[in-house]
Each structure stands twice: as structure tokens, then as C-alpha cells.
Amino acid sequence: MILEIPAGETISFKAGQYLDILLSGKHCPFSIASSPDITDTIELHIKPTPGSADSVEIEKILDLAVSVDIELPKGDCFLETPIDKNLILIGASTGITQMKSMIEFLLPRNPEHSIWLYWGVLSAADLYLTELCLSWEQQFKHFKFIPVVSEPDQSPEWTGRTGLLPDAVVQDFNRLEDTVVYVSGSPGMVYATFDRFIQHGMSAHDMYSDVFSYAPRNKK
């Protein structure tokens, strides 16, 4: 979905933030997929959710191409400048959208440190941005794209990496000191990744995720 900003209106957000689409009084959050350098449109990636009334309403909006009310910026998991350490971006499923915003903000600024993008999906058919990710890899020498399929039985033609995202990262790095990590996924996936990386040498202060704000571990 590409949202066009009305003439005369201004938007401001940081790479990695999200917005709320307002539906019948509800706030429906979606990661912004575009770079904050683009100010006249906002790109969203929306996956239909079977059985969800909100999903049905959003699909109607898509079909009719009508105006929507939004609130932004949201979220405190974002980037404002290139990182002065090696950077690992981890997106599970449509969590790739948050990482896309960060990448399209960072790469034109020619970061000096390496960036690894790990994208985890259930089946290879879910890798809908593969060509774009590979184009980043071709254009920028410090960027590496690693897709990971967690259920290879669904994709018999898949010959790439399989398994869980935290396992894939640990297999590729001896230790994770002096590495900053951004993660987008479910609370269970994010906290499992956090625990695994702490054991692998990462500082607790070097992982960022919106999950830490909306689903803190001490919340009852």
C-alpha cells in the first residue's frame, strides 16, 4: 500500500518507526517500509489476516483507494544515523518492512561498517522482496542478505538456509561483541533471540526491538 500525503501536509518519522491506521476508533499499527527521506508518500506492506475484521476493512480500503486517517510517528526502535558498529538486522515474516526502511535510509549514506540482513519466513514463497534484497547486496559492498526458511518441507525446491533465525546468526558469528542488533518479530521470537545472543557475547544494551516496549517481560 502506497499512501499519498495530501498537498500542503508534512510528515516526519525516523527509519524503523511505524504508524497507526485509524479504523472505526481502533488503532491498527503497521511498520513503515519506506525511508524517511521520502516525504510525499508512505509505503506499507500489509498481509491479510484470515478471520480479522480489521483486515477485512483494510482490504476494502485497498480496493476502493479511499483516504485513511493515520497517526505517526510511533515506536522508539529506530535509526537516525549510521551505526558505528557492525549491524545485524533481523526480520521475521513481514517484520522485513521495518528493516527495509532502515536499509533504504542507511545505504545511501555509505555506512563504513558491515550490515547483515537476516529474513526469516515459513516457506520460500514468502520471500517476496528477494530481488530487492539482492540488489542491495550488489550495490553495496558492506551489505549481506541471508534468507532463512524455517519449514523447508513446504518448499522442496529451496536450497538455501533453513531453521530458526537466532541459530542462523550464531552459526555465522563466533561472538557478537561490538555488534548492534535490531529485531522485528513476535515477542516469543524476539526474547528467544535476545537470550541466545546474550549467551553469544552480545551486550544487553545492543539489541533493539519494539517488543521491548509493548510486551516487556515483567508485564503481567
For domain 86-214, is the CATH number 2.170.190.11?
Answer: no
**85-106 pLDDT per residue, tens:** 999 999 999 999 999 999 999 9
Residue 148: which of 90, 88, 87, 208 has the closest Cα?
90
Contacts of 194 (CB under 8 A, 6+ apart): 183, 204, 207, 209
CATH number of the domain located at residue range(s) 2-74 in this protein:
2.40.30.10
Side chain identity at residue 10, one-letter code: T
User: Edge-to-edge strand order for the sheet containing 69-74?
Assistant: 26-31, 18-23, 69-74
**56-70 pLDDT per residue, tens:** 888 787 777 778 899
Residue 153 is placed in which grid cell? Answer: 518441507
Topology match between the domains 2-74 and 86-214: no
Say how far apart CA 192 and CA 168 lie, in whole Å: 13
Q: Strands 26-31 and 41-43, how do they pair?
A: unpaired
Side-chain-side CA neighbours of 193 within 13 Å: the count stands at: 28
Q: In the chain, what percentage of residues exceed pLDDT 70? A: 99
Say how far apart CA 46 and CA 140 lie, in whole Å: 28
Is the Cβ–Cβ distance between 132 and 99 less than 8 Å? no
Contacts of 9 (CB under 8 A, 6+ apart): none
Is pTM beyond 0.75 here?
A: yes
Cα 103–Cα 106–Cα 112 angle in degrees, nearest 5: 120
Lookup result for grid cell 533481523:
90
Which pLDDT score is estimated for 219?
A: 46
Side chain identity at residue 52, one-letter code: S
Residue 16 is placed in which grid cell? Answer: 524503523
Average pLDDT over residues 32-58: 87
Angle between helices 187-199 and 165-172 (to 10 degrees): 20
Domain spans, the chain: 2-74, 86-214
**155-173 pLDDT per residue, tens:** 889 999 999 999 999 999 9
Segment (H or E) for 57? helix 53-64
Say how far apart CA 127 and CA 10 lie, in whole Å: 33
